[in-house]
Structure 1
Amino acid sequence: MVLHLSTFHLEGGAGVAATRLHRALLRSGFDSNMLVPTVQQEENGVHGLANTKWQARKAWMRFVAERAFFLPYEKDKSVRFAFSPALIGTDIHMHPLVQQADIIHLHWINFGFLSLYSLEKLFSLGKPIVWTLHDMWTFTGGCHYSKGCENFLSHCRYCPFLARPEAYDLSFAQFERKRSMYGNAKLALVSPSHWLDNMVKNAALTQNIQAQSIPNCIDTDLFTSLDKSEIRARLNLPMDKKLVLFAGANTQDPRKGFSFFKDAIAKLNRNSMETEVLVLGKSRPENFTGFPANVHYLGKISDQQELVNAYNAADMIAVPSLEDNLPNTIMEAMACGTPVAGFNTGGIPEMIDHKVNGYVSEAGSSDSLAEGMQWIMDNNTGYSLSRLAREKVIRSYAENVIARRYEELYQSLLAR
């Protein structure tokens, strides 16, 4: 039996990816279970640590306590959730599911779920551990994305996320703790993108640990092409406009590149107002004041079918992320036949085949992003790009394809 450990169940890119893998393994006949702090809705094989209101409150208090601990260290509030000290968490090494598991599969485990001490106790069990990385935290001194800092290649110190970067600061201490822990663990690291896998193989903490790249998976029966006109009519969206989607868990996170998207839309609409915008995710109406196009704010959508409808309503999606691993939004959109224009960063160019099923724009350039969006609008005649985008997902990210690769990894670890 494999046991997945994840901070989130049905929200956040990493939580969604973990749950999708669990479901894919179950459908393939593999014995899979998942343990999360709080189950958001009942689901086969998904178990929560918090089964009472008091337990749920304690889980929330661990999150608050971990953030409060970091408060005196943070450079400013912009990095508040970009660095995890992982000093507060739950010791689950004696949990019945952990004890029963043949393989422990870690996903994103920060924000008060598992601390460094929690991980040490899990590693001490001597069981094979697969860790799917959804960002850089596993091999850094605490940051989730390094924003260009390359200290993790040698030794984290003088951390740019901290108010007082020093030779022996918080990042140095976490780096040393991880080095000690990893030396005693039966670890196999999995990166959804080759971009992240390459960093894993060069990072000082992980360069000697077994590592490979296996993408996230998606249910291509759920995420599929639908009748665009019918969906727009249902959502009360205009039939005669080009609709460009921007999606993100938090649209105002600078890493997601909303400012570049806004500038690119202004360039597209310089001579006409033919293009309108769909925005999906956490935001506020004032964020769209003065936006250079009519904005249809869809809000935060958790229902999967409504998410599929949103992708199908759009002519294309723009993903101008400055740092990203293997965005679920790209995979979801392409599965629905919605072409993508995205920046040439992280795992994005691995997903989009430039001028084949979408457009890879120059990172940090709103001009290039606008060119990419215009190219898709001009070249998706007869939905040829849409068809090729969906074919790429079925070939590379379908549940049966990814489940088989993980099963092979599990079996190889158990055979040792």
Structure 2
Amino acid sequence: MVLHLSTFHLEGGAGVAAARLHRALQKSGIDSHLLTQFSSREKENVTSLADTKWQTRKAWSYFIAERLAFYPHEKDASVRFAFSPAEAGVDISEHPLVREATVIHLHWVNFGFLSISSLQKLFLLGKPIVWTLHDMWTFTGGCHYSRGCDKFLTHCGYCPYLAKPDRYDISFSQFEAKEALYAKPDLALISPSNWLDQMVKNAPLTAGNSSKCIPNCIDTQFFTPLDQNIVRVNLGLPVDKTLILFTGANIQDVRKGFSYFQEALALAKSHFPHIEVMIFGKADKDNLVDFPVPVHYLGKITEPQGMVDAYNAADLIVVPSLEDNLPNTIMEAMSCGTPAVGFATGGIPEMIDHKKNGYVAELRSVLSLTEGIKWVLENDQGGKIAALAREKVLESYSEHIIADQYQQLYQSLLNG
């Protein structure tokens, strides 16, 4: 039995990716279970530690304790959730599912789910461990994305996320703790993108461990092309406009690059006067008032069918992330036949084949992002680019393809 561990279920990119892999493995005949700190809804073989009101309060207490552990150190509020000290967490080493598991598969486990101490107790069980990395935290002294800092390539300390960085700050101590933790022969580190896998191989904390790239997966029968006009009518969107989509769990997160999107639209509207924008995700409506083109704000969409409809309503999606791994939004949009434009960062250039099924823009360049928008709109005649976007997902990220790769990995670990 394979047991997946994830802080969230169907929340955030990492939680969604973990749940999708769990379902894909079930479909392929693997006995797969998912144990989470918080659960969004009941699903087969998904167990939450917060099933009752009392357990939910307890889970939130761990989350609060984790944040309070970092609060005295944080530089300012902008980095509050960008660094995890991993000092508060649950000991699940005696949980029945953990004891029953033949393989333990870690995903994103921060925010009070698993601490360094919790991980140590899991590792001491002697079971094979697979860890799918959804950001950089596994091989840094605590940050989820380094924002250009390369200290993790030698030894963390003097952390730029901290109010008073010094040689022996909390990034130094977490780095040391992880160094001891990873001295385990049957630990496999899996990165959804080649970009992240290369960093795993170069980072001193993880260079000695087995590592490879296996992408996230998606249900291509669910995320599928629909009739755009019908979807737009159902959503109350105009059928005679060019609609460009921007989405994210938190639009205001600086890492998502919303300001670049806004500037690019201001330039693009002179070439395409019928451009309008669709946005879904957590957003401050006040920030959309002065947007250069009309905005259709769809709010936070939690139901998967609502996401499918939104992707199908759009003519293209723009993902100007400044740092990212393998964005679910690009995969979801392309699976629905919606071309993507994104910055050349992280795993984005691996998803979008430049000027074939979308456009990869120069990082942090508004002009290049604008050119990408123009290129897609001018060249997607007859849905040619849209079809190639869908084809890329079918060939690279389909459930059966990714499930098969993980099955082979599990078997190799069990065979020693």
For Structure 1 versus Structure 2, the TM-score category normalised by the shorter chain is over 0.9
Q: Matches of 2:301 and 2:69 in 1, distance apart?
A: 31
Q: Matches of 2:105 and 2:237 in 1, distance apart?
A: 42
Question: Any stretches of 5+ residues in structure 2 without a counterpart?
Answer: none
Counterpart mapping for 1:101-120 below 5 A: 101-120=101-120
Tell me the equivalent position of 1:192.
Answer: 192
Matched, 1:318 2:347: no
Q: Matches of 1:186 and 1:397 in 2, distance apart?
A: 26
Tell me the equivalent position of 1:217.
Answer: 217
| CA positional deviation for 1:65 | 1.3
Tell me the equivalent position of 2:245.
Answer: 245
Tell me the equivalent position of 2:72.
Answer: 72
Tell me the equivalent position of 2:228.
Answer: 228
Q: Matches of 2:338 and 2:248 in 1, distance apart?
A: 16
| CA positional deviation for 1:287 | 1.2
Measured at CA, do residues 20 and 271 of structure 1 come closer, stay the same or move farther in structure 2, by a change above 3 Å?
closer
Contact 1:311 / 1:336 at 8 angstroms: preserved in 2?
A: yes
| CA positional deviation for 1:272 | 5.7
Matched, 1:373 2:367: no
| CA positional deviation for 1:184 | 3.8
Letter in 1 for 2:285: P
Q: Matches of 2:135 and 2:394 in 1, distance apart?
A: 24
Q: Matches of 1:411 and 1:196 in 2, distance apart?
A: 24
Counterpart mapping for 1:260-409 below 5 A: 260-270=260-270, 273-409=273-409
Q: Matches of 1:288 and 1:260 in 2, distance apart?
A: 14
Q: Matches of 1:412 and 1:42 in 2, distance apart?
A: 32
Q: Matches of 2:173 and 2:25 in 1, distance apart?
A: 37
Matched, 1:96 2:89: no
Q: Matches of 1:122 and 1:98 in 2, distance apart?
A: 8
Contact 1:36 / 1:48 at 8 angstroms: preserved in 2?
A: yes
| CA positional deviation for 1:61 | 1.3
Letter in 2 for 1:85: P
Measured at CA, do residues 177 and 19 of structure 1 come closer, stay the same or move farther in structure 2, by a change above 3 Å?
same
Q: Give a deviation string over 1:25-45, Cα, whole Å, max 9, x none.
A: 000001100100122211101
Q: Give a deviation string over 1:65-92, Cα, whole Å, max 9, x none.
A: 1111111100111000000000000000
Q: Matches of 2:264 and 2:191 in 1, distance apart?
A: 31
Shifted more, 267-276 versus 94-103: the winner is 267-276
Tell me the equivalent position of 1:52.
Answer: 52
Q: Give a deviation string over 1:197-246, Cα, whole Å, max 9, x none.
A: 00000001000100000000000000000000000011111111110000
Contact 1:124 / 1:184 at 8 angstroms: preserved in 2?
A: no
Structure 1 vs Structure 2: percent identity of aligned residues?
63
Q: Matches of 1:395 and 1:337 in 2, distance apart?
A: 14
Partner SS, residue 99 of structure 1: helix
Partner SS, residue 368 of structure 1: helix
Letter in 2 for 1:23: R
| CA positional deviation for 1:274 | 1.3
Tell me the equivalent position of 1:257.
Answer: 257
Question: Any stretches of 5+ residues in structure 1 without a counterpart?
Answer: none
Q: Matches of 1:391 and 1:272 in 2, distance apart?
A: 27
Q: Matches of 2:212 and 2:377 in 1, distance apart?
A: 36
Letter in 1 for 2:52: T
Letter in 1 for 2:322: L
Contact 2:252 / 2:284 at 8 angstroms: preserved in 1?
A: no
Alignment RMSD (CA, Å):
0.8
Measured at CA, do residues 272 and 387 of structure 1 come closer, stay the same or move farther in structure 2, by a change above 3 Å?
closer
Shifted more, 58-67 versus 347-356: the winner is 58-67
Letter in 2 for 1:345: T
Q: Matches of 2:187 and 2:73 in 1, distance apart?
A: 30
Q: Matches of 1:273 and 1:78 in 2, distance apart?
A: 36
Tell me the equivalent position of 2:134.
Answer: 134
Partner SS, residue 127 of structure 1: coil
Letter in 1 for 2:348: I
Q: Give a deviation string over 1:225-280, Cα, whole Å, max 9, x none.
A: 00000000111111111100001000010000000000000001136631100001
Tell me the equivalent position of 2:20.
Answer: 20
Q: Matches of 1:135 and 1:272 in 2, distance apart?
A: 36
Letter in 1 for 2:290: G
| CA positional deviation for 1:50 | 1.6
Measured at CA, do residues 349 and 272 of structure 1 come closer, stay the same or move farther in structure 2, by a change above 3 Å?
closer
Q: Matches of 2:201 and 2:274 in 1, distance apart?
A: 46
Letter in 2 for 1:208: G
Q: Give a deviation string over 1:154-188, Cα, whole Å, max 9, x none.
A: 10010000001100000000000000111146310
Contact 1:232 / 1:239 at 8 angstroms: preserved in 2?
A: yes
| CA positional deviation for 1:284 | 1.6
Q: Matches of 2:171 and 2:141 in 1, distance apart?
A: 4
Q: Matches of 2:286 and 2:51 in 1, distance apart?
A: 38
Shifted more, 397-406 versus 45-54: the winner is 45-54
Q: Matches of 1:376 and 1:234 in 2, distance apart?
A: 25
Q: How many residues align?
A: 416
Partner SS, residue 110 of structure 1: coil
Letter in 1 for 2:90: T
Shifted more, 318-327 versus 34-43: the winner is 34-43
Letter in 1 for 2:116: L
Q: TM-score, normalised by structure 2?
A: 0.99
| CA positional deviation for 1:131 | 0.1
Contact 1:267 / 1:370 at 8 angstroms: preserved in 2?
A: yes
Letter in 1 for 2:160: P
Contact 1:124 / 1:185 at 8 angstroms: preserved in 2?
A: no
Contact 1:126 / 1:185 at 8 angstroms: preserved in 2?
A: no
Q: Matches of 2:51 and 2:250 in 1, distance apart?
A: 28
